[in-house]
Amino acid sequence: MNSTHKKALNDRLGQMTVKQRKEAQRQASEMRQAAQKNSKKPAGTIDDFLYRLLCNEPKGVVGLVVRVESTLCHVQIEMEVKPMLLSRESRPVVGDEVEVDLEKNRIVQILPRRTELSRQDDRNPSLSRPVVANIDVVAVVVSVGTPPLHPRLIDRYLFAIHKGGAKPIIVVNKLDLLAEMDAVKQLDRLEPYRALGIPCVNVSAVHGKGLEALRAQLAGKRVVFVGHSGVGKSSLLNALLDNAIAETGSVSDKSGKGTHTTTSSSLFRLDDGTEIVDTPGVRSFAIDFEQEVIEGFPEFQSIATGCRYRDCRHIDENGCAVREAVQQGTVPRTRYETYRRMLDGEVATGMGFVCVKCGVTSTTSGAGTQHRNHCPRCLHSVHLDVKPGDRASSCGGMMEPVSVWVRRDGEWAIIHRCSECGMFSSNRIAADDNGMLLLSIAAKPMSKPPFPLEFTEAIEAGV
């Protein structure tokens, strides 16, 4: 139930006597119990049924939206699926319960949603647009290898899932592409999520490994699969359904990213009562309010009670218990960095950060630029683009300083190499960078020259 529905319900309840409210709650409880008997899925809260009873009681036929196309919406009414024309006013999503007018072949209203998953509107990023409704579980599909595993992208999905009210599960696909030791290293990056109690299931859609464990986690629930392009969502869906119901796409050799293959949303039912929603790939999620971002990181909640200030944002305040927990290792640095990028626009564009490698908080003063992107103490960086909006195109790995060189304009620069994808980049040396460490990096080539130094002496002597 969204804030508008809650306000409407509270207004109606406020107009009633105590006796009337008790009677309404009794009727809503009976409605909920009846709905629960006829469904394997949670029937919603008492408030949901109170809203239907007092504010939005459907007078017509109620159906379930099972497919949405550009101009049509397919609604299941009992055992029959009927196409309904879409209007500008009514934009349902798969999973919505709707009241329909069969004579006019139209949707009268969308009933309150118990959960939803939303993303940013393409035309207006300040608005959110629902993608799917009334889901129980959101399966975040990630892969190891190509595309690489992105913890920060997982965090953004988890935030949206928490905000919408569903439960998350992380599905790691393509394990067959890695050697055993490499797979263990990749899977260790998911330990912070396991510590939060989020189920993590390892599968190979191609070879069928781990599918039974995944089916057991999803049995009897309504599920939507989300994830970056190329992680194998469609292949995984095909494997679960034992039927090629979605065209699968290949990974681009040039970008290492997949091509989107799903163009409309549909709902499919399995024999064990599981309902799977196949929906187009979702990359960005709406972040509406600061408090919602904070609530999206539940591991901060108990720690934040120790902050000096009640309204602490956990960014640069003195006496912040969350930042202290990050320094001590109680809160994973990757989670905290994602939190800061989602909450603070300045952090997202590189204007100050906490080094993931050594924990030092960097500012822009020593760098002489608003795009500070390496730590002045250990010289490490995170593989993220400086330009706002382009961060998803980089892998998020650790950029290690490997050499020092002079640019064409005379500036000295550090050469970084990403430990995850191997890409090289250069960042100019700042005034407050660690001089001794820079000197040691610059001296490395001389410690192991590519040929004996006597050879250069012979050249100088004209031999």
The upper half-sphere exposure of residue 281, i.e. CA atoms within 13 Å in the direction of its Cβ, equals 20
* pLDDT of 386 over the 50 cut: no
**240 and 381 share one domain:** no
More confident position, 72 or 169:
169
DSSP sequence for 42-104: ----HHHHHHHHHT----SEEEEEEEE-SSEEEEEETTEEEEEE--SS----BT-EEEEETTT
**11 and 90 share one domain:** yes
Q: What confidence category does residue 218 fall into, taking pLDDT thresholds of 50, 70 and 90? A: very high
pLDDT of residue 332: 87
**192 and 139 share one domain:** yes
On whether residue 74 sits in a domain, the answer given is: no
DSSP sequence for 109-146: EEPPPS-EEEEE-SS-TTSEEEEEES-SEEEEEEESSS
Return the percentage of the chain with pLDDT > 70, whole number.
Answer: 67
pLDDT of residue 290: 57
**382 and 434 share one domain:** yes
- pLDDT single digits (tens) 96-144: 988 888 888 888 888 888 898 887 666 665 667 888 899 999 999 888 7
User: What per-residue string of b and e applies to 29-57 under the rule 16 or more CB within 10 Å gives b?
Assistant: eebbeebeeeeebebbeebbbbbbbbeee
On whether residue 190 sits in a domain, the answer given is: yes
**121 and 104 share one domain:** no
Q: What does pLDDT average to over the chain? A: 74
**331 and 243 share one domain:** no
On whether residue 75 sits in a domain, the answer given is: no
| Calpha distance 384→348 (Å, rounded) | 10
Choose the final residue of a domain: 238, 253, 278.
278
Angle at 193 between CA 189 and CA 195, to 5 degrees: 110
* pLDDT of 412 over the 50 cut: yes
**217 and 300 share one domain:** no
**168 and 266 share one domain:** yes
C-alpha 257: how far from its chain's center? 17
Choose the final residue of a domain: 251, 278, 305.
278
Q: Could you tell me the CATH number of the domain that includes residue 296?
A: 1.10.40.50
Bridge-based pairing of strands 137-143 and 167-173 is: parallel
On whether residue 349 sits in a domain, the answer given is: no
φ, ψ dihedrals at 171, nearest 5°: -115, 115
On whether residue 462 sits in a domain, the answer given is: yes
The count of domains in the chain is: 4
On whether residue 47 sits in a domain, the answer given is: yes
* pLDDT of 348 over the 50 cut: no
pLDDT of residue 401: 87
Roughly what angle, to the nearest 10 degrees, separates helices 46-54 and 18-37?
Answer: 110
pLDDT of residue 421: 75
Find the mean pLDDT for residues 343-370. Answer: 52
Domain of residue 387, residue span: 363-463
Measure Cα distances from 383 to 386, 435, 446 in Å: 9, 23, 28
**262 and 144 share one domain:** yes
Q: Is the dihedral of CA 176, 141, 92, 217 positive or negative?
A: positive
On whether residue 56 sits in a domain, the answer given is: yes
Peptide bond into 147 cis (omega under 30): yes
The H or E element spanning position 399 is: strand 398-406
* pLDDT of 373 over the 80 cut: no
Choose the final residue of a domain: 278, 300, 324.
278
**299 and 369 share one domain:** no
| Calpha distance 286→57 (Å, rounded) | 30
Q: Is the dihedral of CA 213, 214, 217, 218 positive or negative?
A: negative
On whether residue 70 sits in a domain, the answer given is: no
Contact call for residues 261 and 236 (beta carbons, < 8 A): no
| Calpha distance 91→68 (Å, rounded) | 9
**274 and 293 share one domain:** no
C-alpha 266: how far from its chain's center? 21
φ, ψ dihedrals at 220, nearest 5°: 75, 10
**273 and 299 share one domain:** no
